A = this chain, B = another copy of it.
Amino acid sequence: MNREEVIKLKDEAKNHLVNELLPFWTSRMTDTKNGGFLTHFDKDGKDTGEDEKSLIAQTRCLYTLASAHRAGYGDGKLAEMARHGADFLINKMWDREYEGFYWMMDRKGDVKIDKKIIYGQSFAIYSLSEYTLATGDRRGIEYAEKVFDLIQKYCADTMYGGYWEMFERDWVLRGPGSSGGDRKTLDVHMHLMEAFTTLYECTGKDVHRRKLLEVIEILQKRINHPEYRTGIPQFYKDWSIAPQIKFEIIWGWDRFTGEGKKVNVTDNTCFGHNAEFAWLLNHALQILKIDNGIYRQDFRTIFDHVVRNGIDMEFGGVFVEGPHSGGVSDMEKEFWQQAEVLTALLDAFIMFKNINYWDAYKNVHRFVFDKMINKGVGEWYPLMTREGVPIWKHMGHSWKINYHTVRSMVLSIKRMDRIISGL
């Protein structure tokens, strides 16, 4: 590798972020009529009119704007838009009777689904903490801490550790099976680590640090495969592995079979999650001021698993998932997995100075820039065939928004700047 090569990819990323990705959103996301953000756009970026404002899309938009502002983009305009989003979140989506944020509103701000879903609450903590860090508006951290306190009170499993994830509006645990009340997942615990990291970064409070350290230990000792360090998606309360099922309340379109079951229900790991876990853990350790050397072997194992099994050497990009011991079982390409693997592979290269990681980064970078970005529109296609032909084409939806794409560009640019300065 040489300096020019890195500079070229970095400039490509920066041009995409500043001239395509951010403008795609800033030009159309503000709901001037009802407050908050519009989040449903078709392949041409046209508002589809779907009458939904989901907790995750609203909070992720808030995160995107706040974090991009904090990273130095937008000349203050992104902070203004973030405030507009925080207003809607706090004034419309907060349940004043039972506390916590509702799961789904309509555009006007009336409740459509009143359940308390920890995946969504986790993004509320993450985005509201980032919002205060970015703007100084204390309302963000005030509500982030309220949600943290609610999660400790209602969701911690004081018998087996970890957190329950699916609740009724009044914080009564939901039923078992597809209601999700008897499951614990990689997804939720990883995003709690992400959320508690930024919460702790904002408050410096001991209790936030302690619960962050505990959730890291849960991920390391209960959730990640003991040998392959790959994430296991679903568990029962006692951390025995549960067959992967589809929940009633979802935040993505995992491709399940007709009965809501995966073909290989107990031996699936997702490359994007594993890569995301690794860089989020690395980031958490940095915020905690803990040397990442304590998990050096785990980082190596996870990064190598992604590179060996998850990278498509023929068509480029990152596969969906495969067995823990290696191989691939789903060769399609999801947008968010590309985004998370980009950030992770740059961390891998910085950590180990191994050229294989840089080569893998280039592979995924090229797949994204050559095939996944919807040229002339500015956002990424959500799902493609292995070869890179779009399967789904919408640009925005309750669970396909700007958080993965913008974050991966902001963070990849930072990491490439660091690499460049060292060459």
Contact = CB atoms under 8 A, between A and B. Distances in A.
Interface of A: 149, 152-154, 156-163, 170-173, 206-207, 210-211, 214-215, 217-218, 221
Nearest to A210: B173
A214 to B, nearest CB: 4
A172 B206 contact: yes
B159 A214 contact: yes
A154 B214 CA distance: 12
27 contacts: A149-B149, A149-B153, A152-B152, A152-B156, A152-B158, A154-B207, A156-B156, A156-B158, A157-B158, A157-B161, A157-B214, A158-B161, A158-B162, A158-B163, A158-B211, A158-B214, A158-B218, A159-B161, A159-B215, A159-B217, A159-B218, A159-B221, A161-B161, A170-B206, A172-B206, A173-B206, A173-B210
Q: How many copies does the complex hold?
A: 2
Sorted nearest first, the 5 A-B pairs with minimum C-beta distance are A159-B214, A152-B153, A158-B214, A159-B217, A161-B161
A215 B171 contact: no
Given A159-B215, A160-B161, 11 more contacts: A149-B153, A152-B153, A153-B207, A157-B161, A157-B214, A158-B211, A158-B215, A159-B221, A170-B206, A173-B206, A173-B210
Contacts of A149: 149, 153
A70 to B, nearest CB: 28
A206 B153 contact: no
A285 to B, nearest CB: 17
A282 to B, nearest CB: 20
A160 B159 CA distance: 8
A206 B171 contact: yes
Contacts of A153: 149, 152-153, 207
Contacts of A215: 158-159
Contact of A171 (B161, B170, B207, B221): B207
A319 to B, nearest CB: 32
A218 B218 CA distance: 18
Contacts of A152: 152-153, 156, 158
Contacts of A154: 207
A153 B154 CA distance: 10
A144 to B, nearest CB: 14
A149 B171 CA distance: 14
Nearest to A218: B159
A221 B161 CA distance: 14
Nearest to A221: B159
Contacts of A158: 152, 156-157, 161-163, 211, 214-215, 218
A231 to B, nearest CB: 17
A158 B211 CA distance: 7
Nearest to A215: B158
A93 B242 CA distance: 47
A373 to B, nearest CB: 40
A400 B161 CA distance: 35
Nearest to A213: B159
A79 to B, nearest CB: 31
